Every structure is written in C-alpha cells, then in structure tokens.
Chains A and B, each alone.
Chain A
Amino acid sequence: MIGISRQSDYAARLVLHLACLEPGTRVSIPEISKTRLLPAPFTRRIVGDLVKAGILNTLRGTGGGIRLARPATEISLLDILEAVEGGVVLNACLEGGKPCVFGQGCLVQRAWGDATDLLRRHLATVTFDTLVGASPDHQAAHSQRAAQAQKPVRRSIPLS
C-alpha cells in the first residue's frame, strides 16, 4: 500500500493540536499525548523530528513545553511529511543520489515524477490554519474522549 507511516499520522495530529491552541501556547508532551491519544515515547521522538525541521520549538523548565515554531498558516502537510518521512518521492529513481542509467529517457520515470509533483503540490496547499478551521467538532470529540480515558477502569483480572 502506498501510504504514510504511523509517525507521520501522529505528527499531523500533534501539529494540529498545537495549531488549535492560542498562538504561542506551550504545552507539555504528556498533555498532547493524553489529549490526542498518542503513546508518549513515540510522541517524544516525533517532536524531536519536528523540532529539527523547524516546525516546532521546545523550551525546558517551568512554563516550558512545545509550541509551533511559526504560524499555522506557514505549516503544510507536506512540511510534516518531509520532516518525518524524509521526503515525498514516489519512486527511488527520482532521488538525486542514485539515478537510473536510462534516466531522462525513461517513460515510467516521467509518470512517477508527475505523480510525485501532483501529490506534493496537493499536500503543500493544505496548511494547518485550514485544518483548524475544520476542527471544532473534532476538538470536542477529543476532549470527551480524553475525559473518558481518565476515569478509572475496573479490571476483572488483577494486575500482578
């Protein structure tokens, strides 16, 4: 299946969470994991990738946390995929490092190239401010879900 990794899925949700808050708001990683139902260690690694790519920044200590490094209008879904997947390139023959011997003359390469351009252009148009605009129902669903998750769960089998 042609698709994104779970990391990219989670990264998009994490950035959406921050984009939904007041500009400049810092939150802790455990708080995001809880609200967005993401595993904390995984979230930490993803945050690392997004910081390296200049999408998020972190501040340590009291009042610290993570926030968007630039306005949500300037962060696209393509930015996220490039940061986490290492790129959106449908076929390896389109990458600079290891060109195919037939290169330019190859007809399928051109088709993979056009498909890559199309997908990249599409993902670049999706910025996080637009996603926030489409998000009110979603936020409510998350808050409700997070509240449910906090309630103690009665287990029939005692944990050893």
Chain B
Amino acid sequence: MLGISRQTDYAARVVLHLACLAPGAKVPIADIAKHRMLPLDFVRRIVGDLVKAGVLATSRGSGGGVSLARPAEDISLGEVVLAMEGGVALNHCVSDRRVCPLASACPVQSVWVDATRVLEDYLASVRFDALAKRGDIHQPAHLRVQEIGRVRGAAPKGALA
C-alpha cells in the first residue's frame, strides 16, 4: 500500500491537538497521549522527531511541556510528513536520478516527479490553523471518548474550555 506510516498518522494528531489549544499552550506528553488515545512511548518518540524538525518545542520542569514551536498557521501537514517520513518521493529515482542510468530519458520518471509535486504541494497547503478551526466537531468527539486531562500554561479555547 502506498501511504504514510503510523508514526506520521500519530504525529499529525499530536500537532493538531496542540493547534486546537490556545496559542502558546504547553501540555505534558502524557496528556496528549491520553486525549488522542495514542501509546505514550510512541508519542514520546514522535515528539522527539517533531522537536528536532522545529515543529514542536519542549520545556522541562514545573509548568513545562510540549508546545508548537511556531504559530499553527506556519505549520503544514507537509512539514509533519517531512519530519516523520523524510519527505515524499513517489519513486526512488525522484529523489536521486543517479539510481537509474536511463532516468533522463525515462517517461515514467517524469510522471513520478509530477505526481510527487502534486502531493507535496497539497500537503504544504494544509495548515494546522485551518484544521484546528474545524475542530468544533472533532474536539467534542475526543472529549466524549476520553476524560479531560490537565492542560497547563494557557486556557484552552473552543470545545476544550
């Protein structure tokens, strides 16, 4: 199957969770795991990858936690895919033409390049502020399923309030 890994699926949900909170909100990793029903160890690893990619920021100590490193409107789904998957390259000859000696004359190679761009452009256009704005259906669904945990640092907005 051509698709994203489970890590990327979870990473998008982690970023969405933070984007649904008030700007600057910091939450413990355990809260995200609980709200979004994700395995804690897995979330820890994903947060590490997203911090390294500059999507999230962490602070230690009391009042610490995970937050978005930038405003949600500056974070795209494409960045999350880049952080978790290393990017989109529909075929290996897209990222490195040297893998095939005939790539320059190959009509299929240029099609993989075009399709890769179509997908990349779309993913870059999906911003987390837009996803979070539509959270009015989604957030109550999460809350119904899982009891609310602690949210530190800032008052949550929307359905989490």
- List the interface of chain A (C-beta within 8 A of B): 1-4, 6, 8-9, 12-13, 16, 77, 81, 85-93, 101-102, 104-108, 110-112, 114-115, 118-119, 122-123, 126, 131-132, 134-135, 137-138, 140-142, 145
The yes or no answer to B122 lying at the interface (CB within 8 A) is yes
The yes or no answer to B119 lying at the interface (CB within 8 A) is yes
Q: Which residues of B contact A104 (CB under 8 A)?
A: 137
Q: Which residues of B contact A89 (CB under 8 A)?
A: 1-3
Task: Check A88/B2 contact, CB under 8 A, given A2-B85, A118-B122.
Answer: yes
A-B contact pairs, 17 of them (CB 8 A): A2-B4, A3-B92, A4-B112, A6-B92, A9-B93, A12-B108, A77-B108, A91-B3, A92-B3, A107-B132, A108-B77, A112-B9, A115-B123, A131-B111, A138-B102, A138-B105, A145-B101
Closest 8 CB pairs of A and B: A134-B107, A137-B105, A105-B137, A138-B105, A105-B141, A107-B131, A2-B88, A131-B107
Contact call A3/B118, Cβ cutoff below 8 A: no
Beta-carbon nearest neighbor of B102 in chain A: A141
Contact call A111/B77, Cβ cutoff below 8 A: yes
- List the interface of chain B (C-beta within 8 A of A): 1-4, 6, 9, 12-13, 16, 77, 81, 85-95, 101-102, 105-108, 110-112, 114-115, 118-119, 122-123, 126, 131-132, 134-135, 137-138, 141-142, 145
**What CA separation (Å) do A16 and B112 show in the bound complex?**
14
Contact call B138/A105, Cβ cutoff below 8 A: yes
Q: Which residues of B contact A141 (CB under 8 A)?
A: 102, 105
Q: Which residues of B contact A102 (CB under 8 A)?
A: 138, 141-142, 145
Q: Is the interface of B mostly helix, strand, loop or mixed?
A: helix
Q: Which residues of A contact B112 (CB under 8 A)?
A: 4
Contact call A81/B2, Cβ cutoff below 8 A: yes
Contact call A93/B9, Cβ cutoff below 8 A: yes
Identify B107's interface contact among A91, A93, A135, A140, CB under 8 A.
Answer: A135
**What CA separation (Å) do A108 and B67 show in the bound complex?**
19
Task: Check A91/B9 contact, CB under 8 A, given A2-B88, A16-B107, A141-B102.
Answer: yes
Beta-carbon nearest neighbor of A130 in chain B: B107
Q: How far is the CB of A4 from chain B (nearest CB, A)?
A: 6
**What CA separation (Å) do A46 and B26 show in the bound complex?**
50
Contact call A2/B2, Cβ cutoff below 8 A: yes
Contact call A142/B102, Cβ cutoff below 8 A: yes
Identify B106's interface contact among A1, A106, A138, CB under 8 A.
Answer: A138
Task: Check A13/B85 contact, CB under 8 A, given A3-B90, A118-B118, A138-B102.
Answer: no
Contact call B2/A4, Cβ cutoff below 8 A: yes
